[in-house]
Amino acid sequence: MAAATVQAPSDVYRAADWLAERHPWVRQLVERIAGRIDVHPDWPDTVAGAVNGHLAHSAAWAEYEDRYPPPDDDAAFWEWQAQGPQASREVQAYGVMSSGEKNLVRLVATLGGRVAWSPMDVSFDQRGAAVLADWLAVVHAQLPAWVYPAASDDALVVQLAAVSDATNGEGVAALSR
C-alpha cells in the first residue's frame, strides 16, 4: 500500500511543530530547553533565544576571563565562577548538549529566529539526516511553486523524503507543496 503524501508546512511555527512531531529526537532536545512544547506554542522563539543567548554568554565569559583570570586556589575559583556571567536555564540546557545535539538544535532554531547556522554544522547521524531532509522540505515550501522550473518541481523534495522515510518508516512516501 502506498503511503500518504503530506505537505511540508510553509509557516515556520507549524513547520517547527511538524518537525517535532515527525522526529521524537527533535522533540526531546527542544523540550530540554523550552519545556513541554505542547503547552508552549512559542517554543521555537525560546530555542532560538537559547542558541543566541549561549553565543552571548560564551562571549561574556571570554571577556570575564580576560579581565579577571581564574585563581589557582579551589575555594577562590568557585567564588570567581559564581561572580562570573550567569546564564538563563534555557541557555544552560543548550550549553550542556553534545556538539551533535547543538548542531541539530541550531538547525531547528532557524525556524524560530535568526541564528548562526552553517552547512559546516552538517555532521548528523541518520536521525539528524532525516531531520535535515524534512527541514529542507520546509525551506522548499517557503517559496511559491512558480519560482521552481516545472521539470524539477518536487524532485528534490521526493529525494529528501526518501531519507526521512528510511529513518521514520513508511508513514510518508513523499513531501510536496
98 alpha carbon, distance to own chain's centre: 13
Flag whether 7 is in a domain.
Answer: no
**What is the pLDDT at residue 169?**
61
Flag whether 61 is in a domain.
Answer: yes
**What is the pLDDT at residue 24?**
93
d(CA 160, CA 70): 48
Flag whether 107 is in a domain.
Answer: yes
* Domain, as residue range, for 103: 12-168
Flag whether 54 is in a domain.
Answer: yes
Flag whether 2 is in a domain.
Answer: no
Specify whether the CB–CB gap between 135 and 107 falls below 8 A.
Answer: yes
d(CA 66, CA 105): 29
111 Cβ contact list (under 8 Å, min separation 6):
12, 13, 15, 16, 19, 44, 135, 138
**What is the pLDDT at residue 163?**
62
Flag whether 62 is in a domain.
Answer: yes
Q: Structurally, how many domains does the chain consist of?
A: 1
Flag whether 173 is in a domain.
Answer: no
Flag whether 24 is in a domain.
Answer: yes
Each of the 177 residues of the chain gets a pLDDT tens digit; together they read 334 445 778 888 999 999 999 999 999 999 999 999 999 999 999 999 999 999 999 999 999 999 999 999 999 999 999 999 999 999 999 999 999 899 999 999 999 989 888 777 777 777 777 888 888 888 878 777 776 666 655 666 666 666 666 666 655 444 443
Q: What is the pTM of this model?
A: 0.77
